[in-house]
Amino acid sequence: MINVIGLGYIGLPTALMMATHGLEVVGTDYNEDLVATLNDGKTTFKEDGLDDLFDAALKAGIKFTTEYQVCDTYVISVPTPYDKIDKKIDPCYVVSATNTVLDAAPTGATLIIESTVSPGTIDRFVRPILSERNRGDVRLVHAPERIIPGDMVKELLHNNRTIGADDPEVGESVAELYANFCQGEISVTDIRTAEMTKVVENTFRAINIAFSNELAKICRVGGMDVSEVIRISNKHPRVNILQPGPGVGGHCIPVDPWFLVGDYPETANFIRMALQTNASMPEYVLERAFEVMKKEGIDNPEKVGIYGLTYKEDVDDVRESPTLQMLESMDIHLCGSSMRVYDPWVERDEVANQVHSVDEFLEGLEMIIVMVGHSQLKDDLSAFEDRILLDPRNVCGDGENIYKL
Ligand SMILES: NC(=O)c1ccc[n+]([C@@H]2O[C@H](COP(=O)([O-])OP(=O)(O)OC[C@H]3O[C@@H](n4cnc5c(N)ncnc54)[C@H](O)[C@@H]3O)[C@@H](O)[C@H]2O)c1
């Protein structure tokens, strides 16, 4: 039996996928409300294909509980934030989950840490717990997850994966376990390499995005169209520049690269600058918004709306989102807090001035800052396009009323 610990954006789909591929799975989360919702037959977030997978997993016998199980395999998928002061990983959730697993785990159990951790975290924080508790019998594995919200179900099936283990035989046996559902290539390596590769992958993306964000700023000053520059540059067979945007959010790209800056402050200079560039974008959009308002003679922020609260299109996750960062910036500058905010994916109240219907949002608006390119907007632009649009995501096409980054 597999006990998946932490049933959030990563743990839940992973548990469901395992359960629908012939594995006996119990999902554990210490959040009683979350477990109650799942036991009521409802999923806890919106994701393409998740509800069908959930129904299939229920039929296959998956169980949800707040209790840790006595079983042979544990998968830990709890949060790994970073400390905003020293930029190092905050391992408290992983440490706490490991301790509780060890209370239940029988001799010889396999402990798979799926949470993203900085290189050396398992040596520094997990191994000492095993030593202190005299649990050298536990087989330690790191299996970082790469799936992208919005396409998780498909990516769980098709992505390549990395498994890090002390003992290659243990690594291979865990690779076989994942091969029950994972059709991608599974690379088996040691734990520290697995930790580093996951952080490197997200750092690579953060740097690529930072490069395009910097290009956007250069092109604005130099009077060039950054989309056209990137489009043509990417025709080069060895160039692949990502798109600029209003900032970077979510639980991965604005978080994981900081682990390297925190642990290697003397050497990770380029990474630090990239993260700072990405973090500057919400404020840059705000400055652009005021420029456009001035140009268009809009002096009342109540006539300006912010479309999108999530960190990317067609998901309901708002963690670290550029819109939240921009609203924070507005608070600091004591300006514009009266702009209304709407996101079709976010029903719960997250911020002041949030409205919950597109009609209420559009009522009397003269300008919209498009922070997220949800399908709702892209599929029916006509409802939005008779206003001034500031389009940092470049999803609204071209027009005299459409301003870019
Ligand atoms: N969200 C992503 O896009 C993504 C992608 C790849 C990897 N990751 C990594 O996966 C890990 C999990 O991220 P997430 O987005 O699923 O987080 P999340 O916050 O959505 O879910 C974590 C869950 O763990 C539960 N939890 C925390 N401590 C617990 C404990 N001791 N016992 C039982 N339950 C506990 C919480 O209640 C929560 O439901 C992180 O390390 C993250 O970096 C996330």
CA of 405 relative to ligand 1 center, distance in Å? 33
| 196 belongs to a structural domain | no
Last residue of a domain, one of 189, 218, 239: 189
Q: Are residues 318 and 381 in the same domain?
A: yes
128 and 44, same structural domain?
A: yes
- Last-in-domain residue among 159, 189, 219: 189
Average pLDDT of adjacent 10-residue blocks, the chain of 405 residues: 98 98 98 98 96 98 98 98 91 98 98 98 98 97 96 97 97 98 98 98 98 98 97 98 97 95 96 98 96 95 96 94 93 75 95 94 96 95 92 95 95
Do 130 and 262 have their domain in common? no
Instruction: Give Cα 266 distance to the centre of its chain.
Output: 27
pLDDT at 202: 97
Q: Residue with the nearest Cα to atom 31 of ligand 1? A: 97
Catalytic residues: 198, 252
Measured CA to CA in angstroms, residue 185 lies from 22, 156, 175 at distances of 20, 12, 10
Cβ atoms of residues 369 and 291 within 8 Å: no
Alpha-carbon span 394 to 396, nearest angstrom: 6
185 and 206 assigned to the same domain: no
Helix (H) or strand (E) holding 112: strand 110-113
Same domain, yes or no, for 45 and 81?
Answer: yes
CATH number at residue 354: 3.40.50.720
Domain shared by 22 and 160, yes or no: yes
Is 56 part of any domain?
yes
Dist. CA 115 → ligand 1 center (Å)? 7
Q: Which atom of ligand 1 is nearest to the CA of 100?
A: 31
The predicted pLDDT at position 40 comes to 98
Sign of the four-CA dihedral 328, 334, 336, 337: positive
Tokens (6 digits) for 234: 């990417």
Q: What is the pLDDT of residue 54?
A: 98
- Residues spanned by the domain of 286: 202-403
Tell me how far apart the alpha carbons of residues 147 and 385 are, in angstroms, rounded to a whole number. Answer: 33
| Residue 207 and residue 81 share a domain | no
What's the CA-to-centroid distance between 341 and ligand 1, angstroms? 27
280 is a domain residue: yes
